[in-house]
A and B are shown apart, each in its own frame.
Chain A
Amino acid sequence: MTKDSLRKFYVWFTVLGLLVGGLVVLGYYRDEDREWKDYQRKYAQEEIRRASNPQQRALAERIPIQIRQILLPDLNRVDRCTTCHLAVDDPSYGGYPQPLAYHPLHEQHPVEKFGCTVCHRGQGRATTAADAHGNVPHWDDAMLPLKYIQASCGKCHQAADNPGAPELARGQQVFEESGCRGCHKLAGVGGLIGPELDKVGARRSPGWLKEHFLSPGTVTPGSGMPPQKFSEPDLDAITLFMLSQVGETTPGYYASMKVIPGVAAGQRLFQEKGCIGCHSIAGKGGTIGPALDDVGSRRSPEWMMQHFREPQAVTSGTVMPKFGFTEEEARALTDFLVHLHEQNVASSLPSAMNPVERGHEVYRNYGCAGCHGPEGKGGVPNPNAKTAQLVPDLIHVADGYTNDELKERILKGQREITPLDPNRPQPPLYMPAWGGIIKDAQVDDLVAYLMSLKPKGEESGF
């Protein structure tokens, strides 16, 4: 054993030891070097700069550099956004550039209760801007562009009841008017020709959705969906509405906020709970309870609130049942009744409509217009269908069907559409079977409506 051969070993130990040591140091450095720390240092500097007295300055100097996170077990989320966005709840940071900007609307949606990603989406657990904002490979839920942020309101609030989210309500309106339900099922109602839309907002990006409306075949080869001719605002609105369909239900605290007190919510509750069974408005409705036309001038809002909470407490011996309304629901109903004289609600109450009008509602609600056109006036293209490659219009059904035949046709549908050319692919659109989806009484109304479509004075063509 010579000293020289030992020396060779020692040289190798030194080289490899330094290599391992160097890699450990490098690994440590890369692990410690996180971009959020830079943002936190900038925030701390800003706080120190803004300190107006020694106490504030001392406080600012002790701001720890550490991960901040909001744990939201009910929402199954951990949001670390506030690790970089440190001043979201500090109004004095209004107008600051990101990531230090203040977040408006903070009073209604305190960040410690809601976090961030439940509305903005993105990746709450991430602590780098790219990962957190979600525009990275292998993360499906990128941040919602601010243009579409109202889509998230729909997670907790009913679209139509939310005065703060007009875009969402508008999107829903476009959706219902365009007859999308004729082919697509949403919340259990609609046809089965196209895919269900209950979680479409979680699956699809805004860009995909817009492209899909304008030119379905481009993004989904072989799609039978007719291209839609939306105006630019309508296109944005319906895209937003689709983005709101994420199939997420918010639990507990968040769900209790579902009803935003308001006239629209009140009217919906009024109809849902069947108040019209005992009370009347504009002469329509029951007579067990008093008419409500002038109730706004007869009773105070406080009286009404109490009346909804505990009917016996304000009207001893009343037969009005205790419905167990939540505070929000009671306030919504009160709002509705107080403002009753300002609106023409009577005409929209269900019992106020004749079968044809109700049938028209059914026609709209189940998306028949999506294929047969508004008012049944003309179908959309259905390539290779024998009926002139169009979905047939409905204004002449009275000539070809009896009421019972038409009803059966609606309930059973027609899966096989006769093709124009048997050698070409089957027509993509067909008549879904609506039995079990549309209630029987509603189908009767629908038949009445369809039979009424025949232009006045026109002779039978057959």
Chain B
Amino acid sequence: MKEFLPKRIWQWFERTRVGRSIFRVGLPQSNLERAQAMVSSFLLHMQPAKVNRHSLRASYSFGLGLISLYLFLILTFTGVLLMFYYVPSTDHAYNVMKDLQFVVSAGLIMRNMHRWAAHLMVIFVLLHMCRVFYTGAYKRPREFNWVLGVGLFLLTLGLSFTGYLLPWDQLAYWAITVGTNIAAYAPYIGPELKYVMLGGNAVGQEALIRFYALHVIVLPAIAGFLIAVHIWRVRKDGGLSRPDEAGDTVQQVELSQLPTSKTYGLMELARGTTPQVGRNPEDEVFAWPHLIFRELLLFLLVVAAVLFLAVFWNAPLEELANPVHPPNPAKAPWYFLGLQELVSYSAFWGGVVVPGVLVLALVLLPYLDHNRKGVGRWFARDRVVANTIFTVCLVIAIVLTIIGTLFRGPNWSWQEPWKKPPAVTESH
């Protein structure tokens, strides 16, 4: 049988002197080479040489964490290109948006990709969190990685929120005004917090430069670091969570329990939990190609989806920001509209207590949940109480967000989206 053409080209390249200098192991032909390929490459060595079959099932993880990572990479790539043009000045920012659209080659598509990937990332990080919850994957020994994940979720919101202001149009200006006003409801520190965020009492040049610095340097650097730790912990905590019957359970190795009359390899000395590769060979497959190829295919799929959105739908851009003409209603970014809806009932309870308690509960969840059963299965019967509580909170959050997004008209009055809004009396 004839070999696949790109493969033959690759095999020729890796036999050349240049190819051999770059890739120590060529395209693997044997199991030994498959293991070597993983271990000898910088990019691949972060992943195990062998992986449990259970972890490869798309219907288990849906690749949600990986999709979030890919969206982060797409955002970094398009974000850097946008930085080549962007000027964080209230005089220029909006004009740059216009120039991107009208004269910069592929400028509009890059902005569209950035915008849609940002929205998708908020959605997929949230879905990823739901997956981890419903499969009980935050339980021992993965408690701390869940906490890191909550941090990454908040960072994702922060990245999206800070980026929201940068186009400096009406949408940006008023969404950030509303968003930072919600922050100001926090007791004692609220007004100070808002002042620090904006560099003043209202959104202006100072706020723009702060949001810009946070958006392009501070938050991506922290997020990038936490993502690295998050992924590293996945491997150190024994790979993706899976039920006991999937075999290959995680072995807790305590240094004090090791016999002292033996010479140890470095891997054997690693503290804490480590995956015990090869304990049940029938449950394991080589990461190359089973894991790596799937990951690459998923990457292509994510890029295709973002490109598709970007080619056919333009990112919104309204009028130039105008501090004296608020739209009615002025709405926060969509992922904060559930909060804004709550704030419309009670600023203190909706803006402070509920979100504060929710975030705290998410962070403490793995330490509060003492039930050790139900790991690695969706909607395990052993976890019916936890799953019910989480689902109720999730549904309420989604319903509030939908109400805030679609059902709120002028003066935050009830407004069915399929009805024409009433004529707004325009004050002079």
A360 lies within 8 A of chain B by Cβ: no
B311 touching A9, Cβ below 8 Å = no
A139 touching B319, Cβ below 8 Å = yes
Closest to B309 in A: A23
Q: Name B281-314 residues within 8 Å CB distance of A.
A: 286, 289, 293, 296-297, 300-301, 303-304, 307-308, 310-311
From A31, A194, A222, name the one whose CB has the most chain B CB atoms within 10 angstroms: A31
B307 touching A27, Cβ below 8 Å = yes
A20 touching B300, Cβ below 8 Å = yes
Known A-B contacts A23-B311, A126-B98, A139-B319; the reply to A31 vs B300 at CB < 8 A is no
Give bound CA distance, A222 to B424, whole Å.
Answer: 12
B311 touching A27, Cβ below 8 Å = yes
A12 lies within 8 A of chain B by Cβ: yes
A17 touching B300, Cβ below 8 Å = yes
From B310, B426, B428, name the one whose CB has the most chain A CB atoms within 10 angstroms: B428
From B103, B106, B170, B301, name the one whose CB has the most chain A CB atoms within 10 angstroms: B103
- List chain A residues, Cβ under 8 A from B304: 16, 19-20, 23
- List chain B residues, Cβ under 8 A from A67: 103
Give bound CA distance, A123 to B169, whole Å.
Answer: 15
CB distance from A76 to the nearest CB of B (A): 8
B102 touching A9, Cβ below 8 Å = no
Give bound CA distance, A140 to B170, whole Å.
Answer: 12
Give bound CA distance, A221 to B318, whole Å.
Answer: 26
A140 touching B425, Cβ below 8 Å = no
CB distance from B169 to the nearest CB of A (A): 8
A147 lies within 8 A of chain B by Cβ: no
Contact with A along B90-117 (1 / 0, CB 8 A): 0000010011001101101100000000
Closest to A128 in B: B102
Closest to A223 in B: B428
B4 lies within 8 A of chain A by Cβ: yes
Q: Name A1-57 residues within 8 Å CB distance of B.
A: 1, 3, 6-7, 9-10, 12-13, 16-17, 19-20, 23-24, 26-28, 30-32
Contact with B along A347-376 (1 / 0, CB 8 A): 000000000000000000000000000000
Give bound CA distance, A128 to B1, whole Å.
Answer: 55
Q: Name A89-141 residues within 8 Å CB distance of B.
A: 123, 125-128, 131, 138-140
B317 lies within 8 A of chain A by Cβ: yes
Picked from B4, B99, B425, the residue with its CB within 8 Å of the CB of A222 is: B425
Give bound CA distance, A425 to B257, whole Å.
Answer: 89
Give bound CA distance, A285 to B17, whole Å.
Answer: 102
Give bound CA distance, A427 to B106, whole Å.
Answer: 58
Give bound CA distance, A17 to B293, whole Å.
Answer: 13
B98 touching A3, Cβ below 8 Å = no
CB distance from A75 to the nearest CB of B (A): 13
A195 lies within 8 A of chain B by Cβ: yes
Contact with B along A175-202 (1 / 0, CB 8 A): 0000000000000000000110000000
A10 touching B102, Cβ below 8 Å = no
Give bound CA distance, A30 to B307, whole Å.
Answer: 13
Tally of A-B Cβ pairs under 8 angstroms: 77
- List chain B residues, Cβ under 8 A from A140: 319
A221 touching B425, Cβ below 8 Å = yes
Give bound CA distance, A245 to B170, whole Å.
Answer: 24
Q: Name A429-443 residues within 8 Å CB distance of B.
A: none
B307 touching A24, Cβ below 8 Å = yes
Contact with A along B246-265 (1 / 0, CB 8 A): 00000000000000000000
Picked from A13, A31, A195, the residue with its CB within 8 Å of the CB of B297 is: A13
**Chain B at the A interface: SS class:** helix
B102 touching A127, Cβ below 8 Å = yes
Q: Name B150-178 residues within 8 Å CB distance of A.
A: 169-170
- List chain A residues, Cβ under 8 A from B286: 1
CB distance from A196 to the nearest CB of B (A): 9
Known A-B contacts A3-B1, A9-B297, A31-B108; the reply to A20 vs B428 at CB < 8 A is no
For A, the interface residue count at a CB cutoff of 8 angstroms equals 39
- List chain B residues, Cβ under 8 A from A221: 423, 425
B311 touching A16, Cβ below 8 Å = no
- List chain A residues, Cβ under 8 A from B318: 138
- List chain B residues, Cβ under 8 A from A223: 428
A27 touching B303, Cβ below 8 Å = no
Interface size of B as a range? 20 to 34
- List chain A residues, Cβ under 8 A from B423: 221
Closest to A193 in B: B428
A220 lies within 8 A of chain B by Cβ: yes
A13 touching B296, Cβ below 8 Å = yes
Give bound CA distance, A393 to B354, whole Å.
Answer: 63
- List chain B residues, Cβ under 8 A from A157: none
Closest to A30 in B: B311
A80 lies within 8 A of chain B by Cβ: yes
B300 touching A131, Cβ below 8 Å = no
Give bound CA distance, A222 to B428, whole Å.
Answer: 10
- List chain A residues, Cβ under 8 A from B106: 27-28, 31
Contact with B along A303-327 (1 / 0, CB 8 A): 0000000000000000000000000
Contact with A along B6-22 (1 / 0, CB 8 A): 01000000000000000
CB distance from B7 to the nearest CB of A (A): 8
A23 touching B307, Cβ below 8 Å = yes
Q: Name A130-173 residues within 8 Å CB distance of B.
A: 131, 138-140
A12 touching B297, Cβ below 8 Å = yes
Give bound CA distance, A258 to B136, whole Å.
Answer: 76
Give bound CA distance, A19 to B302, whole Å.
Answer: 11
Contact with B along A56-78 (1 / 0, CB 8 A): 00000000000101000000001
Picked from B102, B293, B301, B308, the residue with its CB within 8 Å of the CB of A131 is: B102
- List chain B residues, Cβ under 8 A from A9: 289, 293, 297
From A3, A7, A20, A30, name the one whose CB has the most chain B CB atoms within 10 angstroms: A20
CB distance from B144 to the nearest CB of A (A): 35
B300 touching A26, Cβ below 8 Å = no
CB distance from B137 to the nearest CB of A (A): 27
- List chain B residues, Cβ under 8 A from A3: 1
Contact with A along B126-158 (1 / 0, CB 8 A): 000000000000000000000000000000000
- List chain A residues, Cβ under 8 A from B108: 31
A138 touching B319, Cβ below 8 Å = yes
Give bound CA distance, A17 to B300, whole Å.
Answer: 7
B300 touching A27, Cβ below 8 Å = no
B301 touching A16, Cβ below 8 Å = yes
Give bound CA distance, A20 to B311, whole Å.
Answer: 12
CB distance from B392 to the nearest CB of A (A): 38
CB distance from A32 to the nearest CB of B (A): 8
CB distance from A77 to the nearest CB of B (A): 10
Closest to A69 in B: B103
Known A-B contacts A28-B106, A195-B428; the reply to A125 vs B95 at CB < 8 A is yes
Give bound CA distance, A220 to B319, whole Å.
Answer: 22
CB distance from B312 to the nearest CB of A (A): 9
- List chain A residues, Cβ under 8 A from B300: 13, 16-17, 19-20
B contact residues vs A (CB 8 Å cutoff): 1, 4, 7, 95, 98-99, 102-103, 105-106, 108-109, 169-170, 286, 289, 293, 296-297, 300-301, 303-304, 307-308, 310-311, 317-319, 423, 425-426, 428
Task: Report 18 cross-chain contacts, Cβ distance below 8 Å, ordered by A residue.
Answer: A3-B1, A13-B293, A13-B296, A19-B304, A20-B304, A27-B109, A30-B109, A30-B311, A31-B105, A80-B102, A125-B102, A126-B98, A138-B170, A138-B318, A220-B428, A221-B425, A222-B425, A223-B428
| Contacts A7-B4, A23-B304 known; 18 new A-B pairs at CB < 8 A | A20-B304, A20-B307, A23-B311, A27-B310, A28-B106, A31-B106, A31-B108, A123-B98, A125-B99, A127-B103, A131-B102, A138-B169, A138-B317, A138-B318, A138-B319, A139-B319, A195-B428, A221-B425
What are the 8 closest A-B residue pairs judged by CB atoms, nearest first? A16-B300, A195-B428, A23-B307, A127-B102, A125-B98, A138-B318, A27-B311, A9-B293
A contact residues vs B (CB 8 Å cutoff): 1, 3, 6-7, 9-10, 12-13, 16-17, 19-20, 23-24, 26-28, 30-32, 67, 69, 78, 80, 123, 125-128, 131, 138-140, 194-195, 220-223
